[in-house]
Structure 1
Amino acid sequence: MRRATFLATILLVAVVAPVTSAGAVEDVSKNGPSAVQQTCSFPVTETDATGTEVTVEGEPQRIVTLSPSAAQTMWEIGGKSKVVGVTKYATYLDGAEAKTNVSGSGMTTVVAEKVVSLKPDLVLAPNVVPDQTVKQLRSAGLTVYKFEEAKSLDDVYAKTNLTGRLTGECGGASETVAWMKDRVSTVREAVKGEDNPRVLYTMGGGYTAGEGTFINEIIETAGGENVAAEAGIQGYKKISNEVVVERDPQWIITPTGIEIPDAYGSTAAVKNNQTVTLDTNYVNQPAPRVVYPITKLAKTFHPEAYQQANVTTTTTSSTGSDETNTTDTTTATTESTGQPGFGPGVAAVAAAAVALLARRE
């Protein structure tokens, strides 16, 4: 839905069966200065991850998304009705079950024949879709845009705006990015100057997210110190139980469906019951809803500072002609489900970790 209508509620690449979330996610509404609406113009030409100049001649009316993150972005910027095909791990999105499922049986496979049969005007592909699949779809006469790997919040902002330009949803994309930046800015202001707790993100199979990962940026933005990065881990790799115990995280984060190893029992996080479960569909997908886990972590790590940063302030001029409403509403809602790391290197991770990474893109 468009962010403007989202006032009543409320932010790397494989594939597994969805898990049911048992936790709760913070839901934050946008209510503040509106983004300047932008009008898309066609044709539009952009160079994609394959080095190909992709031209979209006119505003697409039939779009197939080959990743849950692309689908989530379309939902958020107001393009839901244009989507005719999704992959199986996008089914957490409201109304996605009514779209055609184009997934195959493998981790990152799609059935090209299903995509072609939908006669899409545009196909949005994540960086993990093989170039051969993209070539096959293009050989069938389809316009396919393959995204670059997203490694940062700035990448997500850029990806959201790019999706808007390609799909004719520039205004919704601009508005969504403005909302994301506003929420992230509030979080950063809230945690500035606070003592950062030691945090570990565990994704199953002994794997964690270190320096140079999107998860690391989420932790740091929320006011935490990633012990894996401090231990010199780069990317998504295994971390030994001994290193975890030595680093003694004060908080342990898991995506939905992942248990904390018994070996971590002596850490401050486990002894003090300071663990957080994040929706994998949000924390691991480079898409607008990544704001939710950032907000949830900030509120968890720094509750008083976060509350202070979200105090409702309404200023009205004496003439009533220049009213500024800066209300930020925070409510609790039920989590759905999600996963990490946006890069092709994750494909080599052990089965448990791969399963978690599945919904990332």
Structure 2
Amino acid sequence: MITNRRLRVVCLLAAVAIGIGLAAVAPVSATASGESVSTANDTFPVTLTDATGTAVTVESRPENVTTTNPSAAQTMWTLGAADQVVGVTQYASYLDGAEKRDNVSAAGLGVSIERVVATEPDLVLAPNATSVETVRTLRAANLTVYHFPAATDFEAVATKTQTIGRLTDNTAAAAETNAWMWRNVAATESELNDVDRPRVLYPLLGGYAVGDNTFINQIITTAGGANVAASEFDGYKQINYEVVLKLDPEILIVTDQTQGQILASTPYSQTSAGRNNRTASLSVQYLNQPAPRSVVYATGNLSAQLHPDAAANVTTTPGADGDDGPATDVSAPGFGVVVAVLSLVAVVASARFYHGR
């Protein structure tokens, strides 16, 4: 059955293919839902209501933007607006040139108020993992802060991208980026429409797992998997020994943060995935950060591991900055597990940070 959203995406795919071809991306008038928007950048001031219910006004094009979580930084880079960014957290260090921006991370979790203030930002982009208390403190320091809601699906990622584009005077790039994202999602869905879906589980450290109503759940389903935890809970919750065994995943998703710490541990070692040594390995920054590049790369890379024959027909076009995405690391029966030498404390902290984005 074709859903309304899929029908809209397929229509968008056809329109873009006819107008400009799939090999390149040109600015288009489209949002995530297919509604028309102007590709010309908008005038200022701009006033939008954020997740705290606050009407946030940006008086003029912000030349100095500070991001308090890596998903916002990744989005700015994908929009080709990295030159506007003056502050990022340590978790955005994978972005090209991020080391030239001020690091606003605190010594522990979260961001340093003093460091954010020191960047003298015209606008602070604060994804939902940034606490409301931090947002209030930054506003008390006379900073303009936009706080985003949790991104629970691809539609929310597209809306977030559009909002960042509007606030930072990159509306055309946001429309272009969303069209690129949806085109790749549609291409993957069309190739995997009739595949048998393996039972997949994405375990996090501390006994947590990824459930329904998360953008990661949509990555799994779009890539041709069935997220076994989706029937148990929404969001990110701890999952006990008995439930893991009952769900019996065939494939476990691991990342560079969890590789070597999941497959051989109890109870995962006693599942079908553990007994058959089956994992899908993804880069954590492209799986756990709700941003367009993450959606395209994580979905494409996961589908290539779950369904290599079908996914071979899907061509993932580059993002706005020409980045083709990370390499995949496919694991199958008999494939050895690479042990990641990481500090458990640091990994747990990172995992907690990425859960909320």
Contact 2:207 2:238 in 1 (8 A): yes
1:280 to 252, 276, 284: 284
How far the C-alpha of 1:311 sits from its partner, in A, is: 11
Describe the SS at the equivalent of 2:117: helix
Contact 1:203 1:255 in 2 (8 A): no
Structure 2 residue aligned with 1:268? 272
Describe the SS at the equivalent of 1:358: helix
Unmatched tracts of structure 1, length 5 or more: 1-29, 313-328, 337-349
Contact 1:207 1:353 in 2 (8 A): no
Structure 1 residue aligned with 2:26? 34
Equivalent residue runs for 1:254-333 within 5 Å: 254-258=254-258, 259-260=261-262, 261-290=265-294, 291-310=296-315, 333=326
Contact 1:284 1:357 in 2 (8 A): no
Deviates more, 1:288-297 or 1:238-247: 238-247
Equivalent residue runs for 1:10-159 within 5 Å: 31-32=23-24, 34-36=26-28, 37-108=39-110, 110-159=111-160
Alpha-carbon separation, structure 1, partners of 2:349 and 2:48: 31
Change (3 A) 1:142 1:205: closer
Describe the SS at the equivalent of 1:92: coil
Alpha-carbon separation, structure 1, partners of 2:324 and 2:107: 38
How far the C-alpha of 1:334 sits from its partner, in A, is: 4.2
Change (3 A) 1:192 1:54: same
Deviations 1:33-66 (A, max 9, x none): 5332432221111001111111111111111111
Contact 1:205 1:352 in 2 (8 A): no
Structure 2 residue aligned with 1:346? none
2:354 to 332, 355, 359: 359
Amino acid at match of 1:97: E
How far the C-alpha of 1:284 sits from its partner, in A, is: 0.8
How far the C-alpha of 1:172 sits from its partner, in A, is: 1.4
How far the C-alpha of 1:335 sits from its partner, in A, is: 7.2
Structure 2 residue aligned with 1:4? none
- TM-score (structure 1 length as normaliser): 0.77
- Count residues with an aligned counterpart: 301
Change (3 A) 1:288 1:357: farther
Change (3 A) 1:131 1:35: same
Alpha-carbon separation, structure 2, partners of 1:203 and 1:144: 30
Contact 1:189 1:309 in 2 (8 A): no
Change (3 A) 1:331 1:83: closer
Change (3 A) 1:227 1:311: closer
Amino acid at match of 1:88: Q
Structure 2 residue aligned with 1:234? 234
Structure 2 residue aligned with 1:10? none
Change (3 A) 1:267 1:137: closer
- Root-mean-square deviation over aligned CA pairs: 2.6
Amino acid at match of 1:275: T
Determine whether 1:185 maps to 2:186: yes
Contact 1:187 1:295 in 2 (8 A): yes
Deviations 1:44-91 (A, max 9, x none): 110011111111111111111111111111100011011111111111
Alpha-carbon separation, structure 1, partners of 2:163 and 2:80: 14
Deviations 1:120-166 (A, max 9, x none): 11111122323332223223322111111111110000100110110
Aligned sequence identity (%): 46
Deviates more, 1:238-247 or 1:209-218: 238-247
Alpha-carbon separation, structure 1, partners of 2:235 and 2:104: 30
Q: Say which structure, 1 or 2, has more relative contact order (CA 8 Å, 6+ apart).
A: 1
Alpha-carbon separation, structure 2, partners of 1:352 and 1:118: 27
Alpha-carbon separation, structure 1, partners of 2:326 and 2:133: 41
Unmatched tracts of structure 2, length 5 or more: 1-21, 29-38, 330-344
Greater percentage in helix:
2
Deviations 1:208-243 (A, max 9, x none): 11122222111111111111123x233222223333
